[in-house]
Structure 1
Amino acid sequence: MIRGVRGATTILENSEKEIICKTEELLTNMIEANNIVAEDVAQVLISVTADITACFPAKALRNLEGWDYVPVMCTKEIAVPNSLPSCIRIMMTVNTEVAQKNIQHIYLHDAVSLRPDLAKTLSVDN
């Protein structure tokens, strides 16, 4: 079965170090919470708000051991008025036998406000 695993986080400053650090934190939490192995991942889509320009957050995926061949793409979010700024969102397409209702979607930092109903115990403070 193919499932989407969602996640989002926010950054405190538009710097390469911050973008990579927060993206890697989000990816690691998504992977661990859902027992994901790279071989089961079809693709990873990463979107950013318009204020994130210092680097491609996809670079963070390449820091993870064994994820060299997973296709990853970055894109820009739609600029909706009053939407959450400095936000990185991830949609990971995964082959899994886990029921859709049991997928653990991860929302960190200020991104918890996007889906408080899904941001269970893994939310972390800034």
Structure 2
Amino acid sequence: MIRGVRGATTVESNEADEIVANTKILIEEMANANDIQAEDIASVMISVTSDLNATFPAKALRLIEGWKYVPVMCMKEIEVPGSLALCIRIMMTVNTSISQVNIQHVYHHKATQLRPDLTDQ
């Protein structure tokens, strides 16, 4: 079965190292929480808010061993007035036997406010 796994994080500033580091942490937690291997992934889409342009957050995938061939694309999130700033969102499309209700979506830092119904906070 193909499922979507969502995740989001924020950074404190538009700084390349922080963008890549926070993205890598998020991706690794999403994979670990859902027992995802690189071979299970159909694609990864990463969006960023317009205030993030210091680097491509997709670089984080290339730092994860075995993820060399995972297709990834970055894009700009739509600009909605009052929306969360400095935010990186991820949609990972994977092959899994986990049911929809049991997928573990992951939200870090200020991004927990995006889906409070899916976080412990």
* TM-score range normalised by the length of the shorter chain: over 0.9
Cα distance in 2, alignment partners of residues 77 and 16 from structure 1: 18
Cα distance in 2, alignment partners of residues 69 and 81 from structure 1: 36
Paired amino acid for 2:54: A
Cα distance in 2, alignment partners of residues 86 and 75 from structure 1: 14
Superposition deviation, residue 110 in structure 1: 0.1
Per-residue CA deviation, residues 33-80 of structure 1 (Å, 9 max, x unaligned), is 001000010000000000000000000000000000010000000000
Unaligned runs of 5+ in 2: none
> Aligned to 2:116, what secondary structure does the other structure show?
coil
The TM-score normalised by the length of structure 2 is 0.98
Paired amino acid for 1:86: L
What is residue 58 of structure 1 aligned with on the other side?
58
Cα distance in 2, alignment partners of residues 80 and 117 from structure 1: 21
> How many equivalent residue pairs?
121
> Aligned to 1:117, what secondary structure does the other structure show?
helix
Unaligned runs of 5+ in 1: none
Per-residue CA deviation, residues 54-107 of structure 1 (Å, 9 max, x unaligned), is 000000000000000010000000000000000000000000010000000000
Paired amino acid for 1:60: A
What is residue 118 of structure 2 aligned with on the other side?
118
Superposition deviation, residue 119 in structure 1: 1.6
Superposition deviation, residue 109 in structure 1: 0.2
Instruction: For 1:1-126, list aligned pairs within 5 A.
Output: 1-120=1-120
The TM-score normalised by the length of structure 1 is 0.94
Cα distance in 1, alignment partners of residues 103 and 36 from structure 2: 11
Aligned-residue CA RMSD (Å)? 0.8
> Aligned to 2:19, what secondary structure does the other structure show?
helix
Paired amino acid for 2:4: G
Superposition deviation, residue 24 in structure 1: 0.5
Cα distance in 2, alignment partners of residues 71 and 57 from structure 1: 13
